[in-house]
Amino acid sequence: MFLNWRRGVIASVLIGTLAGSLLTGCGTGNKASGSGSAGNGGKVTTIEYWHVNSENFGGQTVRDLVQKFNEQHPDIKVVEKFQPNMYLGLMQNLQAALAGGHPPAVAQIGYNYLDYATANLPHLPVEDAAKTDPEGQAFLNNYLPNILNLGRVNGKLEGVPYSISNPVLYYNADMFKAAGLDPQNPPKTWAEVRDMARIIKEKTGNYGLYVQEPSDNWAQQAMMESNGAQVLTRTGGKARATFDSPEAIEAYQLMADMVLKDKTALHATWEEGTQAFITGKVGMYVTTIARRNYIETSSKFKVLTAPFPTFGNKPRRVPAGGNALFIFAKDPDQQKAAWEFIKYLESPEALTTWTKGTGYLPPRQDVTDDPRYLKPFMEQNPLMKPAVAQLPDAVPWVSFPGNNGLQAEQVLLDARDAILGGRQPAAEVLKEAAAKVNKLIGN
C-alpha cells in the first residue's frame, strides 16, 4: 500500500516548493506607497490609508468613503488598509513599516498615542501641511477650539481630530420604572447617581452602577477631572502626575464607597460589566458613546443616555476617545495627496457618512444641526444627543510622556484595582502611585 511512499513524499515536497515559487508571483500585490508613483505629468499618486475600523465598526464606511474620494480625484488613488488590534496594533505595524521604509501616507492615531507618535515617529505635522494650502486656515476654523486642541501636542497641531467619542451615562429605563424612578429624570450629579444606585439596589436587588474598566483610565480621568483634578499637569514643558490631589482622591473614594460600602456599584472587567448591563443586572453604565449601537442592538429593555454626571456645579470635563489623522508620507506629491484626502474625510458630507457608519461624534461644529447633513440622523437617534451636547466639555485624553509612558499607565491601572478591590483607601494608593509615576516619567 505504501510502496510509493518515498515518491509521494518527494513529489509533495516538490509540488510544495513549486507552488510556493509560482504563487509568490500572484501574491506580489500592490506596492502602494512605493516611490514609482510620482504625481506630476498626469500620473496617479497612490497613497495608503491605515485605519482600525473592523467589519463590525465602520469597515464598510471606510471603503465607501475611499471609493468616493477616488472617483472625485482621478489623479489620486487611496488604498485603505485595516490594522487589527486597534491603535496598539496600528502603532506596532506602523513602527515596522517605518523601519522598512514604506509608511502609509495617512493613518488614524489614537488620542492616547498622540504624545508617543509625535515624539517617536517621523511625520508631517498637519499644521505645516495646512500652511501650504491657501484654504488651510479657513478649513481649520470649522472646529471648536477645544476639539482642535485634541490634535495638538505642546501647542503644535500634529494631527486633525477625526473620530470623537466621549463617556455618557447609559441607563435601563425599565429598571428605573421598576425602582420607582422617573426615566425622564436621569441623575445629573454624582450625588444623585449614588442615591439612585441605592434605590435601584433596594427596590430591584440589582447593581445601580458600573463604570467601564478596560485597560485604560479614560472614564476614571473623566471622574477625577470633573471634580476639578488634573491627572497630569504640564508646566514649562515638564509633566507631573497630579492625580493624588484632594479632588482626585475624593472622586475615586466616591467610586470606592459605592463599590465597597454601599455595594451598589460593580467592580469588574469591561466585558463583564457590559454583559451585566445588557442582561439587566446593572441599572446605570458609564461607557463610550461609540458603543451606542452595540448596546442598543444587544439589550432587550429600553436604553436611554444622559450626559456624564458632574460634581455639583463644577464643570464637566470628558476626555475625548477616538483618533486624529496623521500624515506619514515623505514624498512631497504623496504629502499633498494625503492632505487632500484628509480634507475630504473631514468634509461635512464625509463626516456625515462617518458618524452614521460608526457612531462617532463629528469634530466639526457645522455638521450636526444642518438638515443636509446629520440633523435627520440625530433626530432618529436621540441617544446621541447628550454626547453631542457635551462636546464643548471635551478635554485631551491623558497619555504619560516618555519611554515609560505605558508603564506609568499600568501603575494607574493597578491603583484602580487596589482602590476598588478594597485593599487600601484611595488617598494612600493614589499618593504612592503618583510618586511612582513621577519617577517613571522623569521627575
Partner 1 sequence: MKTKIPWWHFPLLLVVLGSLLPLIWMLATAWKTPEQVFNASLNPWPYPATAANFAYVMGAIPLGRYILNTFIIAFIVTAAKLLTSILAAYGFTQFSFRGRETLFYLCLLSIFVPFTVTMMPNYLFMSRMGWLNTYTGVALPQMADALGIFLLRQSIRSIPPSLVEAARLDRVGHGRILGRVLLPAIKPSLIALGILFFINTWNEYFWPLLMINDKSMYTLPLALQMFTNLEGGTNWGAMMAAATLASLPPVVAYLLAQRYVVDTFIHSGLKG
Q: Give the residues lining the site for partner 1 (CB under 8 A).
A: 2, 5-6, 9-10, 12-13, 15-17, 19-21, 23-24, 27-31, 52-60, 81-82, 84-86, 89, 93, 96-97, 99-102, 165, 214, 274-275, 278-281, 288, 290-291, 293-295, 297-300, 321-322, 358-359
From the CB of 268, what's the least distance to partner 1, in Å? 14
Given a contact cutoff of 8 angstroms between Cβ atoms, the answer to whether 259 and 204 are in contact is no
Residue 168's contacts (CB-CB under 8 Å, 6 or more residues apart) are: 286, 287, 288, 289, 305, 306, 307, 308, 386, 387, 390
Beta strands in 122-256 (DSSP E): 152-153, 156-157, 160-165, 167-172, 207-211, 232-235, 238-241
| Nearest alpha carbon to residue 157 among 167, 143, 171 | 143
- Between residues 320 and 418, which has the closer beta carbon with respect to partner 1? 320
From the CB of 50, what's the least distance to partner 1, in Å? 8
- Between residues 311 and 354, which has the closer beta carbon with respect to partner 1? 354
Residue with cell 509568490: 24
Return the H-helix or E-strand segment holding 394.
strand 394-395
Chain-centroid distance, C-alpha 356: 17
The C-alpha torsion from 147 through 149 and 152 to 154, rounded to 10°, is -170
- Between residues 8 and 246, which has the closer beta carbon with respect to partner 1? 8
From the CB of 100, what's the least distance to partner 1, in Å? 3
Q: What is the DSSP string of 211-226?
A: E--SSS-HHHHHHHHH
- All cell numbers assigned to 58: 465602520
- Between residues 212 and 264, which has the closer beta carbon with respect to partner 1? 212
CA atoms within 13 A on the CB side of 140: 22
From the CB of 439, what's the least distance to partner 1, in Å? 27
Distance CA 382, CA 214 (A): 26
From the CB of 249, what's the least distance to partner 1, in Å? 29
- Between residues 83 and 390, which has the closer beta carbon with respect to partner 1? 83
- Between residues 20 and 332, which has the closer beta carbon with respect to partner 1? 20
- Between residues 24 and 313, which has the closer beta carbon with respect to partner 1? 24
CA atoms within 13 A on the CB side of 83: 23
From the CB of 430, what's the least distance to partner 1, in Å? 26
From the CB of 228, what's the least distance to partner 1, in Å? 28
